[in-house]
Chains A and B, each alone.
Chain A
Amino acid sequence: MPARAGIGLRATHHLRVLAESPAAGWFEAHTENYFADGGAHVEALSRIRERYPLSLHGVGLSLGSTDEIDPAHLQRVRRALLRFEPTLVSEHLSWSSVGGRFANDLLPLPYTEEALRHVSAHIAQTQDFLGRQILLENVSSYLQFDCSRMSEWEFLNGVAAESGCGILLDLNNIYVAARNFDFEPQRYLNAIAPDTVKEIHLAGHNSVNFDGRELLIDTHGTPVCDAVWDLYGAALRRFGEVPTLIEWDTDIPALEVLLAEAAKADTVRADAHALAA
Chain B
Amino acid sequence: MHSLRELQLDVMQAVLDARPELAAPYIADRGIAARLTLDVYANTARSNFTDSLIASFPVVRRLVGEDYFRQLARGCHARHPSISGDLQFAGAEFAQFLAQAHGAGEYLYLGDVAHLEWLIQETLLAAEHAPFDPAKLQTVPPNDYDALVFRLHPSVRLFTSEFPCVAIWQANAGDAEPPLIDLGSGPDRVLTIRVRGQLEFHRLSLSEQAFLEALRAEESFAAAIARGVEGGGEFDAAAALRRFVLAGAIVDFH
Contacts and interface: CB of A to CB of B under 8 A. Distances in A.
Interface of A: 32, 35-40, 43, 59-62, 65-66, 70, 73, 76, 95-105, 107, 109-110, 112, 114-115, 118, 142-148, 180-182, 210-211, 213, 215, 217
Interface in B1-47: 1-5, 7-9, 11-12, 15-16, 25-28, 30-34, 36-38, 40-41, 44-45
A180 B30 CA distance: 9
B82 A102 contact: yes
A70 B89 CA distance: 14
A76 B82 CA distance: 18
Contacts of A142: 37, 40-41
B182 interface: no
B238 interface: no
A118 B3 CA distance: 12
B127 A38 contact: yes
Contacts of A61: 85
Nearest to A100: B83
B245 interface: no
Contacts of A65: 8
B4 A110 contact: yes
Contact of B85 (A73, A99, A210, A213): A73
A104 B4 contact: no
Interface string B81-112: 11111111010000000000000000000000
A114 B185 CA distance: 62
Contacts of A103: 12, 15-16, 41, 44-45, 82
A60 B84 contact: yes
Give chain B's interface residue range (CB within 8 Å of chain A): 35 or more
Contacts of A118: 4
Contacts of B126: 36-39
B28 A144 contact: yes
A201 B249 CA distance: 45
A267 to B, nearest CB: 33
B154 interface: yes
A62 B83 CA distance: 12
A143 B34 contact: yes
Contacts of B48: 104-105
Interface string B212-246: 00000000000000000000000000000000000
Contact of A102 (B28, B41, B83, B154): B83
A115 B195 CA distance: 49
B16 A211 contact: no
A201 to B, nearest CB: 18
A104 B40 contact: no
Given A66-B4, A142-B40, A211-B31, A102 B125 contact: no
A101 B26 CA distance: 20
Contacts of A59: 85
B128 A38 contact: yes
A27 B154 CA distance: 30
A35 B88 contact: yes
A62 B4 contact: no
A32 B85 contact: yes
A73 B32 CA distance: 36
A103 B11 CA distance: 10
Contacts of A104: 45, 48-49, 82, 85, 87, 90
A60 B32 contact: no
Which 6 A-B residue pairings sit nearest by Cβ, starting from the closest? A60-B85, A37-B127, A36-B125, A66-B5, A102-B82, A98-B8
B174 interface: no
Nearest to B86: A32
18 contacts: A32-B86, A39-B124, A70-B84, A98-B12, A101-B81, A101-B83, A103-B15, A103-B16, A103-B41, A103-B45, A105-B15, A143-B27, A145-B27, A180-B30, A210-B36, A210-B37, A215-B40, A217-B40
Given A37-B126, A40-B124, A143-B28, 16 more contacts: A32-B85, A38-B125, A40-B197, A61-B85, A73-B85, A98-B9, A102-B84, A103-B16, A103-B44, A103-B45, A105-B44, A109-B4, A110-B7, A144-B27, A210-B33, A213-B31
